Structure 1
């Protein structure tokens, strides 16, 4: 249970908490971090505006349930409790004011770029697939035209490609097959036709 409760002063910890995989949890304001004594705090309109501002700094936006709980031993003070659903691998990673954060022991740190990139790739794998990368240094001359034309013939024989494809320039055919993007060969797709 302690893993699912955070006592925070730094709004960037909202982002940290959202990156805890599969972790439903609470962020709680108004508890002394060392003694865990419930002290609460005065909640004013300004306090609620600050909370709203902090939540507005999160991207993507999150639906947060905020509760204000009276502290009987401290009249006028309240504990502020926020409930979050945990992050699931493959979802878009969260940022706070454009910066991703994570936790190292009890310290909030800016997330390393490679860790953030890994989460972005998991969120949109189709954009980062190996076969979609540009094949630098590969030209149309590096491709086996006979193999390409053989594939076209097989497609025509199978009724999947119109016969007119036999008379089109190779570059046009590769573009239609999405093997060229803005005139550049794409890695995995072009490798099928490389001259060996």
Structure 2
């Protein structure tokens, strides 16, 4: 049985918590809570977390399904180099981003979820994982030799070894190499 790649779990948890932070921040800001500015902060922090976590990292073994439009956001994440690739940095960043949002009831769920994602990222960092972008493989085009022509005779087809091969005399005469053993007459009643 293979090892668990904790970064994949942390990525999904952090992306969901970023969306929850944005939703809670909108509720707090639009609802004009007493400390609405924490709601505005949660919207900004949640958007930052979502941008950072949207691109999935490549798995060590196997294939990784890329999210829609991930390559554009992954280019921005890759641009920051070790700040975004290192999971120790992500764990600390998520923990620091979650603290101010914890002072408001509407954003407390996003805070707890982001703190859990931070712990999972810390576990992934301890296990030696790091974020690597998914490189798309160029699609191999079929070679001309690999493409077979369509069959010439209609189905049902006998196996290749059972098919009657025309001899050279019949081909030279231009006649039909296959002869129907039963005579066919056209009688209309």
Normalised by the size of structure 2, how large is the TM-score? 0.23
**Whose Rg is larger?**
2
User: Hey, which of these two has a bigger chunk of strand by percent?
Assistant: 1
User: Hey, which of these two has a bigger chunk of helix by percent?
Assistant: 2
Normalised by the size of structure 1, how large is the TM-score? 0.23
